[in-house]
Chains A and B, each alone.
Chain A
Amino acid sequence: MMASRTQIAMIAGSLFLLGVGIALYKAFSLGFPLLPGEYREVWTIESKISFSPRKDQAVQVNLKLPSEQAGWVLLDEHFASSGFGFTIVDHDDGRDARWTRQSLERPTTLYYKLQAYRPTNQALDDMPPPPIEKPILENDQSAAMERLIALLHEQSADTESFVALLVTEFNREDQDRDAQFLLGTFEESPLVVMQAVLAHADIPVHEIRGIRLQDGRRRQTLSSLLEFYDNERWIVIDPENASVGMPPNFFVWHRGSEPVLAVAGGSNSRLEFALVSNSLPAKTVIGMEQRAHEYALLDFSIYALPVEQQGVFKILMLIPVAALVVVVMRILVGLKTSGTFMPVLIALAFLQTQLLTGLALFLILVGVGLWIRSWLSHMNLLLVSRISAVIIVVIFMMATTAILSYKFGLDRALTVTFFPTIILAWTIERMSILWEEEGFHEVFLQGGGSLVVAIIAYLLMTNRVVEHLTFNFPELTLSLLAIILLLGKYTGYRLSELYRFRDLGKNE
């Protein structure tokens, strides 16, 4: 006993010290911030250019690079161009990255990664309005356009309301007949038609290309905003919902209607983005990139991974924290949970759904599931097919919740899909057996216990300090491991036992 105790104590001690030691070294020698106090949201944007080359043709890929606009600051850029000739070409209005190669056999992917943050929320710079290029139209198209312009002019007070009405018109389900005609004969894309109409109405207009930033998105594509000149200033409008002004979390890539990506000698070209946001001080990120070559430790940190995997690890590194919560709640508090690690899975689902929505959805799913399962039990099915039936019922319930909530405009409930279906089905099955054998009390105890553990785990996992520490100091997981090992040797009473045996002292 003593031997195994000291052994565990030594292993746990060295793990703990190792974890804390590396973390402190990183904090004090390499300047990693221990607290997310000077927090800035740094976005890492990884652009992926994929295309299929044409046979026996030289390939030239031209990508317009973003410049610092609307308050965005670029911290760092990386290009991956193995086997390609690579140059950056400077223009008056920005820079292009150019990859070239004599010939290419198979579909290829090129990468361009940048980190950016937005210290101030500025408007776009002013620029003189460009000369208007009127669209070349057939007679009937021109007539339709004029009728549309006349109609909108009648309903609007100034240029801004004119453009807003135009955008609304094109987003409506039952469009004006002239708008329909233009979409049918002139151009399919409403964006192009809108620009043509505005040019025809002598309003200078161009597109703003950029990315709608969403943490963890993997295959985001470029979005467009419209910008028009209203005699004295430029105004941004969202062509999808007619809201005026720059949307929040919009990274401006390029201001102008020219294509961002041009591939000569290739086809099926695509430009996609993977996005991750980190809570880091901007200074640290710059410093870190500069020193990455000096310290092997940083080269092997999570930052060395591609952005997509960084996003995965961000969540993965939180799981040990949830595991610790389970260990503490079971060993020290003595809470009963249904299934040891089910609470962790629920907590992970909560991360996606947000707490209150998640809780409501979970209770609805399990409640309805229990009701349906009690009906299924009358049909005398084999266990495996009964659970499979419950799985399918759960999926149906998810679909119904999603559809109903979408119809009622509750977008949050769409996240219902993040619940682990099979775990839910098993939980329902276990709970209903528990109900039959031990009564509702036990169901309440175990279900409630699981939810309490899940909620505590969720609250810890969403805590900014915890998130910051696990991602930037993954070595602290070793210290967590040490604590869990030590708790495995804890032989004291559980909190629940102080209640369970409460009457033992009285009767003596």
Chain B
Amino acid sequence: MIGFISPRKLAELGILGMNRRNVGFIGKYNPRSKYRLVDDKLLTKKTALENNIPVPQLYKVIERQHEIAGATRDLVEHEAFVIKPVQGSGGKGILVIIGREGDSFRKSSGSLISAADVRRHLSNILAGLHSLGGRNDRAMVEAMIQFDPCLQEYSYEGVPDIRVIVFKGVPVMAMVRCATHASDGKANLHQGAVGVGIDIATGRSVRAVQHGTLVTTHPDTGANFRELQIPYWEQILDLAGRCVEMTGLGYLGVDIVLDRTYGPMLLELNARPGLAIQVANMAGLRHRLAVAEKIAAETDDHDRKIALARQSFGVYT
């Protein structure tokens, strides 16, 4: 069989498949009533602030088409900002403006767009183009993260974010998604972004994978992934664990960014986290999820769960 792996081998590796994820984890541990909290990014932000979880600053919310013209004028006071659909899914419809050039805005990719383009983008968001089920949506404008310099060199034109999968309050797997030129500044692994598996115990990189094969250096910046060590690792795990308590979702993907001045910040939550994290770590989720289940049965204490997770899932001993 060319290009296929046998299902038995996959099961041995403990790879979690889409069907088992949907039926066995999302369907079972994520009650639908709690989805609103993660799907509505404004609500996520508000709840996070109430729970003392740091989030990027919110500049503005645009709810109606007629507010768009005024909103783009008001944005002049900010040098850099990010526009997002409040109910967007899978990173769709996110526009990152890193600066301006006269009347034009500079995108994270470096290309310039006009104010009219920004207005059209906002209008599309409000009409629900990027949102789940095409519902009418709102647009939110928030501060652009000033990336921590230690991560800067690992990402080309894009947002390096840290994804932690948390099951029943136990962090089970983590990765950093590094945008590349091939992925057009996007953090999608299947478009050519590099996924870097992160050791739960230490925050050090385990391995880096692009297009399913191991790489050691970033294809564009040349930074060596072996030397990647995520700073504030304990804070990151703590933040991820607290998000589970905040949402009540058993199986959660937490996306975290590192800000130069404010440290780890919650970017967004995902009630249906993808499976690519297994490729980045070259490891399956199922065995770890089984261990996490035991840990959660053993203790209810937040710190104890994280400590046990770091003991159990550490790669470097």
* A interface residues with partner B (beta carbon < 8 Å): 1, 331, 334, 380, 382-384, 433, 437-439, 488-494, 497-505, 507-508
Contacts and interface: CB of A to CB of B under 8 A. Distances in A.
B205 interface: no
Contacts of B5: 498-499, 501-502, 504-505
Contacts of B130: 433
B7 A498 contact: yes
B297 interface: no
Nearest to A334: B18
A504 B213 CA distance: 9
Nearest to A498: B4
B19 interface: yes
A383 B279 contact: no
A498 B10 contact: yes
A382 B66 CA distance: 12
A507 B279 CA distance: 11
A501 B116 contact: no
B213 A503 contact: yes
Interface string B116-149: 1001100110011110000000000000000000
17 contacts: A380-B119, A380-B123, A382-B65, A382-B123, A382-B127, A384-B127, A488-B23, A491-B17, A491-B20, A492-B19, A493-B19, A494-B17, A497-B17, A498-B10, A502-B5, A505-B13, A507-B207
Given A382-B65, A383-B128, A504 B282 contact: yes
Interface string B269-282: 00000010011001
Nearest to A5: B23
Given A382-B123, A501-B278, A492 B4 contact: no
A489 B13 CA distance: 22
A502 B116 contact: no
Given A383-B124, A383-B129, A497-B10, A502 B4 contact: yes
Contact of B129 (A380, A433, A490): A433
Contact of B15 (A383, A433, A504): A504
A347 to B, nearest CB: 23
Nearest to B276: A500
B9 A505 contact: yes
Nearest to A508: B282
Given A1-B24, A384-B127, A504-B15, 8 more contacts: A382-B123, A383-B129, A491-B17, A494-B18, A497-B10, A498-B6, A501-B5, A501-B13
B116 A499 contact: no
A378 to B, nearest CB: 10
A435 to B, nearest CB: 13
Interface string B188-220: 100100000000000000010000111000000
A28 B282 CA distance: 57
A503 B13 CA distance: 12
Interface of B: 3-7, 9-11, 13, 15, 17-20, 23-24, 28, 65, 92, 116, 119-120, 123-124, 127-130, 184, 188, 191, 207, 212-214, 275, 278-279, 282, 284
B13 A504 contact: yes
Contacts of A380: 116, 119-120, 123
A311 to B, nearest CB: 34
A262 to B, nearest CB: 58
Q: Indicate the member of A492, A497, A507 with the most B CB atoms within 10 Å.
A: A497
A491 B23 contact: yes
Given A383-B128, A491-B20, A508-B282, A501 B10 contact: yes
Contacts of A433: 129-130
Contacts, number: 89
A330 to B, nearest CB: 10
B275 to A, nearest CB: 8
Nearest to A4: B28
Ordered nearest first, which 3 A-B pairs have the shortest CB separation? Answer: A383-B127, A491-B20, A503-B212
Contact of A490 (B10, B11, B19): B19
Contact of A492 (B17, B92, B184, B213): B17
Given A380-B119, A380-B120, A507-B282, A1 B7 contact: no
Nearest to A380: B120
B134 to A, nearest CB: 8
A439 B20 CA distance: 29
A502 B7 contact: no
A383 B65 CA distance: 11
A502 B124 CA distance: 38
A382 B136 CA distance: 12
A331 B116 CA distance: 42
Contacts of B278: 501, 504
Nearest to A488: B23
B279 A497 contact: no
Contact of B24 (A491, A498, A501, A508): A491
A433 B23 CA distance: 30
A288 to B, nearest CB: 43
B279 A504 contact: yes
A306 to B, nearest CB: 38
Contacts of A384: 127
B303 to A, nearest CB: 29
A118 to B, nearest CB: 51
B214 A507 contact: yes
A502 B184 CA distance: 25
A505 B7 CA distance: 11
Contact of A439 (B9, B18, B191): B191
B76 to A, nearest CB: 20
A490 B27 CA distance: 13
A8 to B, nearest CB: 11
B251 to A, nearest CB: 14
A334 to B, nearest CB: 7
A493 B7 contact: yes
B23 A489 contact: yes
Contacts of A1: 24, 28
A500 B213 CA distance: 12
B137 to A, nearest CB: 10
Contacts of B214: 507
Contacts of B18: 334, 494, 497
B19 A494 contact: yes
